[in-house]
A = this chain, B = another copy of it.
Amino acid sequence: MPHSRRHSITVVDIAREAGVSKSTAARVLASRGSASQEARRRVLTAAEKLGYRPNALAKAMASGASMTIAAVIPDIASPYFSAVMRGLIDAARANGFEVLLTNTDNDAAVEERSIEVLAEKRVDGFVIAPVFQEHPRAIERLVAEGSPVVLLDRRTPALGHVPLVSLDHVGASRLAAGHLLDLGHRRVALITEAPARVQTADLIASGADDTALRPSQQRQIGFARAFEERGLVVDDSLVIHAEYSATSASKVFGRALDEGLDFTAVYCTDAVLTYGAFQAVAERGIRLPERFSFVGFDDQNWTTVVSPPITVVDQPTHALGVAATELLLGLIRDHDAVVTDLQLPARLVPRGSTGPRGQ
């Protein structure tokens, strides 16, 4: 017993016990290469007897594959990301991979450090919901080195060539706005966390590649597209800007309500904003959809327990996680695989909070 440290059972021990060479034992244990029935039986018996547990670290070291992927996201505690991660982990496990999970809190420094640490652990690939910044150096380095990387939910301009799996943010908003417009609404307010300086017209004009924009901006574009497609135009005075927090949304939308903003329907472009905006509605005892129609984002569980239940745009969260993983695994299997972006469609769930204008 060389060390005082508990000596774990290795291939060598199995080989000795089974009376075969190390390689033979290794071969049958990894079910790779060939071995006689007899050898196989004896090795397996020995392994069973000694309680052999393969060392994945050594395996990874020698083979170059750790069978582990990394997920780098803002916050696992958010309903959205926890649901996506569920899909991601399910898909990973189904393919024999485990996942190292880390939160960035949308902090660029944390993201960089996390990616560095995970790269040191030699994960086989990364799924990243990147922090918005000019130069995500850590990610750029990964890509430069040829590490498999898939972006999730959003893509920064500098990462234009990295594959992205996301919701079709634009389409989601077209769906929501279209629903309201088709109900006859014309004065439709929008609650967004997009920077206030951006005018809807400018956003649309910029055209080109929407996916380089923040999801909130893409959602604003989709909103405008729905108007455009019907020969209408968005009234920027109805675009309400909030910070990314329920408190802010509640305050800002509450103020709009108190000041008598003239609108007959409102669309919230994000889950958190939806929650905040609805708080403002609930606090004031406003009746929907009589006073105005209300469309929220994400099918959060509270939306069906309030009165009336809220019409929402629902994201395929689990599917997003699965898709991101599968895209990544494709890249891991073949680093030069041609991968294309994947935009999953949202689904409109009409409920009681929306109704025809003037009802």
Contact = CB atoms under 8 A, between A and B. Distances in A.
Nearest to A141: B51
Interface stretch (A58-66, A150-158, A342-350): A58-66
A77 interface: yes
Given A58-B61, A60-B57, A307-B282, A98 B118 contact: yes
A103 B89 contact: yes
Nearest to A58: B61
| Chain copies in complex | 2
Interface stretch (A79-87, A177-185, A232-240): A79-87
A109 interface: no
A117 interface: yes
A209 B168 CA distance: 52
A311 interface: no
A58 B122 CA distance: 10
A161 interface: no
A54 B100 CA distance: 18
B68 A76 contact: no
A269 to B, nearest CB: 18
A306 B306 contact: yes
Contacts of A358: none
A146 interface: yes
Interface in A291-346: 300-302, 304-307
Interface string A241-284: 00000000000000000000000000000000001001100100
Interface string A71-98: 0000111110011011001100100001
Given A58-B61, A68-B100, A302-B305, 10 more contacts: A5-B64, A55-B122, A57-B122, A75-B86, A76-B82, A77-B85, A77-B86, A98-B117, A279-B304, A300-B302
28 contacts: A5-B64, A6-B145, A55-B120, A56-B120, A56-B122, A57-B66, A58-B61, A61-B61, A68-B100, A68-B121, A75-B86, A76-B85, A77-B82, A77-B83, A78-B82, A85-B101, A98-B100, A98-B102, A98-B118, A98-B121, A99-B102, A275-B305, A278-B305, A282-B306, A300-B302, A302-B306, A305-B306, A307-B307
